Amino acid sequence: MNRPKRIAIISAIFGVAVGLIVFAAMDFIRSSPPSVNFTAQPGKPVDLTIQTVGTIGFGVHPSWVSYLVKTPAGQWVNTTLWKLPAHRTVDVTLLQYDSGSPLRNQEIGSVIGVQNPTLNGNSFTLINSYAGNGVAHTFSVPQLNVNVPLLGIDPNAKNPCGAAPCSLAYAHNTVKFSFNTGAAGTYRWQCFIPCGLGFLYGNGGPMQTIGYMGGFLEVS
């Protein structure tokens, strides 16, 4: 094969590779979940209501564990991208509908970096995951030094939620706390419990996918 033909073939292969990369990037952008905006009320604390569920029940991964957030208009949305105002207090109500288990790292069971944490109306600073129902998930923002463990529901509960969004009629724990957003920037947040059932060490699938067990706080 002469040189011009080799160059032509290599160029064609390179072009196909670039096209596939661009297609994958555009597909990711199109499939990325929406971002919910909580910046509309300047000067006021932000009310953020979220829930964790053992099975999302819809979408491309209906069996995956997931977070959901309630929009300012009151609609539950399966997204983990939230726009928050800078230097503002965020008052969180977190409804936890999933079962728990013992932690591999007990330090994750400590409440860090938040104000007025309560679990079902009672103040708490730690969950002993080897007692009771264990820990189901965490809400953690490493850059803000925030970590809140979420107590699992009773594994023998008679009314577990089967698909999201879950109403208050189903077995759940209510966790409330406040944190400060700090300066403008993009902050990664996630669950630190390996809860990707069916994936190696539980760290794949929903643990690595935006819209399920991790996302970003877009602070501005």
Q: What is the DSSP string of 118-186?
A: EETTEE-SB--TTSTT-EEEEEEEGGGTEEEEEEPBPTT-SS---SSSPPTTSS-EEEEEEEE--SSEE
Q: Are strands 146-151 and 115-119 parallel, antiparallel or unpaired?
A: unpaired
Query: Which two structure tokens, joined as six digits, stand for 7?
Result: 């160059």
Distance CA(4)–CA(48), nearest Å, equals: 62
| Four-CA torsion 104, 107, 110, 112, nearest 10 degrees | -130
End-to-end CA, the chain: 58
Tokens of 5: 């033909």
In the block, which residue shows the tokens 């594994």?
A: 155
pLDDT at position 105: 85
Question: Nearest 5°: phi and psi at 66?
Answer: -160, 160
> How high is the pLDDT of residue 20?
34
Distances in whole angstroms, Cα of residue 111 to Cα of each of 56, 121, 127, 170, 179: 26, 15, 8, 25, 12
Q: Write out pLDDT tens, residues 107-140.
A: 899 999 999 999 999 999 999 999 889 999 999 9
Burial class (CB in 10 A: 0-12, 13-18, 19+), 99: middle
Q: What is the mean pLDDT of each run of 10 residues along the chain (220 residues)?
A: 52 42 38 88 91 95 96 97 97 97 91 98 96 94 98 95 95 98 96 82 85 97
Question: What dihedral angle (degrees, nearest 10) is formed by the CA atoms of 136, 161, 188, 26?
Answer: 140
Q: Is 3 helix (H, G, I), strand (E, B) or coil?
A: helix
What phi-psi label fits residue 90: left (phi over 0), alpha (psi between -120 and 50 degrees) or beta?
Answer: beta
Q: Which residues pair with 109 in a beta bridge?
A: none
